[in-house]
Structure 1
Amino acid sequence: MTSDKTRAETVGFIGLGMMGQPMARCLLGKGFRLVAYDANPASLATLREAAAPGTLDQAATPAEVAGRSDVIVLMLPSSPVVAAVMRGGPGVPGLLAALRPGTLVIDMGSSVPGETRALAEEAAARGAALIDAPVSGSVVKARAGTLAIMAGGDDAAFARARPVLEAMGETIIRTGAVGSAHAMKALNNYVYAAGLLATAEALQMGAALDLDLGILADVLNASSGRNVATETKVRQHILTGTYAGGFQLGLMRKDLETAGAIAAETGVRAESLALCREVWTRALAAIGPGADNTEIHRFLLAQARS
């Protein structure tokens, strides 16, 4: 339950994209006061439309967010973007330079674990703290505040972050030290991507055999081949041809690259991961990063016809 003390803290929010926008709205709906920043002014204007008077302030820079917030949520598309926002650039101060002692930064995107650990050390040098809390779930779950959230960091930082996280998520899972949540998120998404790819290939072979693909989906879901792709993507988004699962192909490939970085760091050969990365990379080149992740099925079909 969110305490009055926590609600009295001002939460900074940077990154009002497809997921960040509904997450910020959940915070507003739970009584938090926000200082928000996004590189796209239209995203800020959209959030303002949903905010009650006196609950939302707009910042001109990430550094301004740091100067006016007690807790800062980052919902940014990649680790390089997080690093740029945190460290700034020539003539553009970043969050780190403006952090006040006692500030808590929560990186809720899908960043590279090693970079997360490095930024946490830099924040600690300024008397602040950084934890990683990536999310799992669709835009629909972000709107409903029912995301699954993994959280890596020490006990004190997590205790402070928890009320903020609970305003946006239904399931909060402690993963260990800082960086562990980003690692687990990347590994989870690798397993999902591999399952979706295998499912799409099975559907392609089933179609070539003139099987009833709806019944094939039922068999998979009643048998050992069941996975989240067979349960939530086949009938809903692939067989209908809508391809609207709610997660972009480019983001999927980015998470696979993060998993690849983990494989390199740990010395694990991960041959299945290498193959999966190669196929998703070709799909990205063919149909673009904005395509839905379920369109890996459409890519495989087009490849078979060429």
Structure 2
Amino acid sequence: MGASMAGHLLEAGHVLRIHTRTRAKATDLLERGATWADSPRDAADSADVAISIVGFPDDVEAVHLGDTGTLAADRPPPILVDMTTSEPDLAVRLHEAAAARGTSFLDAPVSGGDIGARRGTLSIMVGGDDPAVAAVQPIFDVLGGTVVHQGGPGAGQRTKIVNQILVAASMMGAAEAVLFATRAGLDPRRVLDSVASGAAGSWTLSNLVPRMLEGDFEPGFFIDHFVKDLGIAVREARGLGLDLPGLALAERFYQEARREGLGAKGTQALLLLMEARQQS
């Protein structure tokens, strides 16, 4: 996703200095005009804005708070933006750490997967202070079709938790529906034609169920990362005194999928787990 997003910024005329843990993954961007930095600190030094999108909260912490992180730069940018799905408490801590260096921090996780990243139609959920959000809005507009400022530090991450609770429920329902349609002797593609435009319609039905039916389980979003997201959601819900059984069930299923070796597959590979369970 990050490569597609950076590509849109290049196309919009922005000057990019980039860092990835695996330099080979940046080859296309470098050939298109981006310049290489050896660390997040070097990428951020004297920049107008530094943007990160990585895998896990520990990665976010290292990118911004580590010895070679953005806040270790001699001249950190006036605004830091993290677009990873991460922990709300970490977003608040990064906001405080940035403020201590005279810098603003925005948590701005995204939804829309690889398709939204390629098309520049991501939904961006933003937490942070008004002036920083207004300053970065032109960048967000390049990357997303829907950009909503949800509130102060951590509000973007909490909104993304809402999104992932909804996605978890839709993925469980989609996989079960495909199993039922197939076992009942229906043509799942014809069934999809009927239900996707009705009350059951969703992004999952329109974008991921066709992949299921084509046997395409490659990742637009890794199961490994979704397990991380669901864990964050479960912990945050418990912290609020909430018992969310649907969320807990989805977390258990996706944890099982990871144990069965599906962690590097896309979230739609839940279907493979459910098919296997029918045969056991």
Q: C-alpha separation between the residues in 2 aligned to 1:94 and 1:31?
A: 26
- Written as runs of structure 1 = structure 2, the 5 A alignment for 1:112-191 is 112-191=87-166
Give the counterpart letter for 1:256 in structure 2: L
Q: 1:240 aligned to 214, 224, 248, which one?
A: 214
Calculate the TM-score normalised by the size of structure 2. 0.92
Give the partner amino acid of 1:269: D
Question: How big is each residue's C-alpha offset from its partner over 1:91-137, in whole Å with a ceiling of 9 and x where there is no partner?
Answer: x3322232647610000111111111111111111111100111111
Structure 2 matches for 1:63-142, cutoff 5 A? 63-88=41-66, 92-98=67-73, 100=75, 103-142=78-117
Distance 1:141 1:203, change over 3 A: closer
1:23 alignment partner, SS class: helix
Q: 1:101 to 1:211 in 2, by over 3 A?
A: closer
Encode CA deviations 1:245-284: one digit per residue, 9 max, x unaligned: 7222222222111211211221211121111100110011
Distance 1:244 1:62 in 2: 29
Contact 2:47 2:76 in 1 (8 A): no
Give the alignment's TM-score, normalised by structure 1: 0.85
Q: Which residue identity does 2:236 align to in structure 1?
A: I
Corresponding residue SS for 1:42: helix
- Aligned partners of 2:189 and 2:29: how far apart in 1? 41
- Secondary structure in structure 1 of the residue aligned to 2:196: helix
Residues 219 and 265 in structure 2, CA contact (< 8 A), matched pair in contact too? no
State whether residues 35 and 68 of structure 1, in contact with CA within 8 Å, keep that contact through their aligned partners in structure 2. Answer: no
The equivalent of 1:14 in structure 2 is none
- For structure 1, list consecutive stretches of 5 or more residues without a partner in the other structure: 1-18
Aligned to 1:62: 40
Are positions 1:213 and 2:188 aligned together?
Answer: yes
Q: CA deviation at 1:158?
A: 0.4
Q: 2:268 aligns with which of 286, 294, 297?
A: 294
Instruction: Tell whether the 8 Å contact from 2:45 to 2:77 is kept in structure 1 after alignment.
Output: no
3-state SS of paired residue (1:131): strand
Q: Is the 8 A contact 2:47 2:77 kept in 1?
A: no
Which whole-Å deviations, capped at 9, do the CAs of 1:38-60 have from their partners, x for residues lacking one?
A: 11121233311122xxxx33211
Counterpart residue identity of residue 263, structure 2? P
Distance 1:278 1:57, change over 3 A: same
The equivalent residue for 1:35 is: 17
Report how many residues are paired. 280
Residue of structure 2 in register with 1:4 after alignment? none
1:157 CA drift (Å): 0.6
For the structure 1 residues 132 and 37, does the alpha-carbon distance in structure 2 shift closer, same or farther, using more than 3 Å as the test? same
Q: Match for 1:206: what amino acid?
A: A
Tell whether the 8 Å contact from 2:219 to 2:266 is kept in structure 1 after alignment: yes
Which residue of 18, 24, 44 maps to 2:6? 24
Q: Does the residue aligned with 1:68 lie in a helix, a strand or coil?
A: coil
Cα separation, partners in 2 of 1:217 and 1:140, compared to 1, 3 Å: closer
Whole-angstrom CA distance in 2 between matches of 1:57 and 1:215: 48
CA 1:254–1:178 in 2, change beyond 3 Å: closer, same or farther?
same
Cα contact 2:125–2:160 (8 A) shared by 1: yes
Contact map agreement 1:37 1:62 (CA 8 A) in 2: yes
Q: Distance in 2 between matches of 1:302 and 1:231?
A: 24
Distance 1:31 1:222 in 2: 38
User: Residue deviations 1:151-204, cap 9 Å, x none?
Assistant: 111110101111111122222111111211111112212211211111211222
Percent of residue pairs bearing the same amino acid type: 31
